[in-house]
Amino acid sequence: MKWFVNLSTRNKLLCGFGLIVLLLALVVGVAYRGITSVQGEYKNLLKEEIQVVANLIEFRANMNRQRLDMLRMVSTNDKKEQQKIEQEVKDSSKANDKILEDLGRFGIKNPVFIKSMSEFKSLSDAYWRTRDEQISLIFQGKTDDAKKLALTVQDERFEKMRQMALDIAAQAKQREAQHIQETDNIASKAITIFLIVAVAAVVISGLLVMFLSSLIARPLRDIAQVAAKISSGNLAVAVAMEDRKDEVGLLGQAVTGMIQYLKEMAGVADSLAARDFSVSVRPRADEDMLGKAFAMMVANIRELAKEVRGGVEVLAAAASEIVAATSQISTSAAEASAAVNETTATVAEANQAAQLSAQKAGYVSETAQKTDQIAQSGKKSMAELIDGMHQIRSQIESIADSVLRLSEQSQAIGEINEAVNDLAEQSNLLAVNAAIEAARAGEAGKGFVVVAQEIRNLAEQSKQATARIKGILSDIQRAMNAAVLATEQGTKSVEAGVKQSAVAGDSLRTLADSIAESAQAAIQILASTQQQLVGMDQIVSAMENIRQASTQNLSAAQQSETAAQDLHGIGGRLRQLAESYRI
Amino acid sequence: MPASAKHPAQNLEARREILKARAQALAREPKIAAEPEGRLEVLEFVLANERYALETAFVREVCALKELTPLPCTPSFILGIINIRGQILAVTDLKRFFHLPDKGLSDLNKVIILRRGGLEVGILADRVSGVRAVSVPEVQEPLPTLEGLSPDYLKGISREALIILDAEKILTDPRMIVHEEVELPSK
């Protein structure tokens, strides 16, 4: 039994399954033999006996038909009909010949059947010959002879043939029943063998399963339980197994090695956990991932511990420095907070100043707008003034025209006066002439002398009047000249005035534009100061925020100071911890 | 007149006074009529600011000087000729005739036409004052010292310092008959 245990699992399985396959082949062979023998019996039955019976029945039907045809042939005289019937008879004879041939082929094995078949054949041949004789008799018109033959020889022969056919069919039926009986026997035998073999196979398979299970599955289950304990971290286990050389034995050995390896690694980890980083791990193979990883880890941890020790030194020193720095920051934050408080107060004052300047800017803007309105009205007045100046100029011009016309008219008056003076002169002369004429007339002309004298006086008065008119006219003309000069000067002055007013209007317009611009600027200044005010408010709130922030800063600085103190303490503790490592 | 319009009563009174004064002036009787004998009717005229007089008996008429046509080849006192209503008359300047010096401005725009018999001559005058009566007894003899003026052509000087010229003598003066031949410049 030892050799089977040491057999590899593949060979064990091959052995077990080979046994089962042998049993199965036995069962299949038994079943095949039974079924093939049953199949042969049935083939015989179907091919021979039933075929024989069917053929004989058909043969008999054809015989009956021929007999009837012969009778019809005898009874009729019509040649055509007779020929037709003859053709039918010949056809059925051929069919019967073929049946006989088939039947002859069947009965090779059975000698009884062959003998009865040869008898039947010779009888049927005799019947065919007589029938051919009958047909020739009928064609010769000897129907009576034919009838006679039919009723005697042919009838006998027919009866005999029928009897023989029945016998043969009975024989065939008998053989048929015999075959069926044989088949039943074979089948029952095969079933019995089959059952016996099957029961044996089942029993052997169950035994095999139990054996293999005890040999393979149980040790595997034990190993699996050990592996489960290992997977839950329990390494204080061992595989209890006799020395085996199959796969199960190998598995047990491997598990034992694995437990040993893991125990070794656990020892390394234990020493690491005890802060002993001086252990060395040697990997078992190139593929020893855990061993290599442990080796690398130990090296890394050693490196790390060194670095940690250096870092902790640095950290402790830095913590001391941080403590110093945070205390400085704390004092600085306190100073900054005080400064921010002062700045907040200053900003509040600045805000008040900005509000004042915003009010002033509003006042200035209003004033500038009023000034702008005044300037606009001044501009309008200036335009009206320029219009007035233009009107004055046109009126002065019309006055100059009038004076000129007046001068011309006074000239005309002077001319008229001259004419009147001339007339007076002539009147004077006429008066003198009249006086001369009167003197010449002597006493008679005395009265006329007086008249002439008076006329002369009138002429004299006229002359005086004209002289006065002339004087007045010269006065008028002098005055006129003065007026002409004055109007010319006036025109010039007005012209200058128009120019001056235009210049003044331009100046005023420029002034008004400047004022409008300054008003605009004042509005912009107002807007700017408003914005500035808003900005100042924002600055005030911002300063308030800054103040709060600085207060918070102060408290934060104090907190960070205490935190730095804590850090310093932690640095000291870390240093102690790092010094406890063994590298 | 705005003043007369304001005071129509005063205006009416003033007008009435003027009319009254005129009536009195006209109602005055001439003095000459009082002494008809020894009375000389003269035509008084002014020449170079001197008052002269001519007897009206020799005066045909007085007229204004118009369209004087200078006449060549005549003595210098003959200024030219004029056309009086179709009659051609010579015009004489007495100042040159009497060799009087030219003193002051003179209009010389009046012509006094003298007539004696068939001779008629125009004399230039500045101004014709009119016809007046001069009482002969009051006429004084001309002073021989009278500047430039030959006493032959004077009748006398009236009380009003009027120089009365002797028209007859002037007209009959041989210088008035002009017969002058001028030698034409030889060819």
- pLDDT at res. B19: 93
The answer to whether the beta carbons of residues A560 and A385 sit under 8 Å apart is no
Are A436 and B43 within 8 A, CB to CB?
yes
Rounded to an integer, the average pLDDT of A279-286 is: 81
pLDDT by residue (tens digit) across A485-503? 888 888 888 889 888 888 9
Distance CA A277, CA A233 (A): 23
Average per-residue pLDDT for chain B:
80
- Number of CB atoms found within 10 A of residue B128's CB: 24
Smallest Cβ–Cβ distance between A436 and the set B30, B33, B59 belongs to B59
Q: Judge residue B24's burial from the number of C-beta atoms within 10 Å of its C-beta, 0-12 exposed, 13-18 middle, 19 or more buried.
A: exposed
pLDDT by residue (tens digit) across A6-17? 778 888 888 888
Percent of chain A with pLDDT over 90: 8
Chain B 65-124, CB below 8 Å of chain A: which residues?
110
- pLDDT at res. A143: 76
- Collect all residues of chain B within an 8 Å Cβ-Cβ radius of residue A444: none
Q: Does an H or E element contain B166, and which?
A: none
Question: Phi and psi dihedrals of B36, rounded to 5?
Answer: -70, -40
Distance from CA of A442 to the nearest CA of B (A): 10
pLDDT by residue (tens digit) across A45-78? 777 777 777 888 888 888 888 888 877 877 777 7
| Interface-testing mutation among B62, B127, B134, with chain A (most A C-beta atoms within 10 A) | B62
Using alpha carbons only, give the angle A25, A28, A30 rounded to the nearest 5 degrees: 110
Rounded to an integer, the average pLDDT of A554-571 is: 88
Token match 């001069």: residue?
B134
Distance from CA of A431 to the nearest CA of B (A): 8
Here the ipTM equals: 0.71
- pLDDT at res. A469: 92
* CA nearest to B30 within chain A: A450
Rounded-to-10 torsion of CA B91, B94, B98, B104:
-130
pLDDT band at B162; cut points 50, 70, 90? confident
- Please give the single-letter amino acid code of residue A186: I
- pLDDT exceeds cutoff 80 at A142: no
Smallest Cβ–Cβ distance between A440 and the set B30, B56, B128 belongs to B56
- Of A89, A66, A95, A82, whose CA–CA distance to A137 is shortest? A82
* CA nearest to B132 within chain A: A435
- Please give the single-letter amino acid code of residue A466: T
Average per-residue pLDDT for chain A:
85
- Collect all residues of chain B within an 8 Å Cβ-Cβ radius of residue A438: 131
pLDDT by residue (tens digit) across B41-84? 888 998 878 888 998 888 888 888 888 888 888 888 888 899 98
Query: Domain ranges in chain B?
Result: 39-176
Pick the CATH number of B39-176 from 3.65.10.10, 3.40.1190.20, 3.30.200.20, 2.40.50.180: 2.40.50.180
The answer to whether the beta carbons of residues B49 and B101 sit under 8 Å apart is no
pLDDT band at A106; cut points 50, 70, 90? low
Rounded to an integer, the average pLDDT of A86-109 is: 77
pLDDT by residue (tens digit) across A260-279? 888 888 888 888 888 888 88
Rounded to an integer, the average pLDDT of A137-151 is: 78
- Number of CB atoms found within 10 A of residue B5's CB: 8
pLDDT by residue (tens digit) across A504-528? 888 988 988 998 898 899 899 889 9
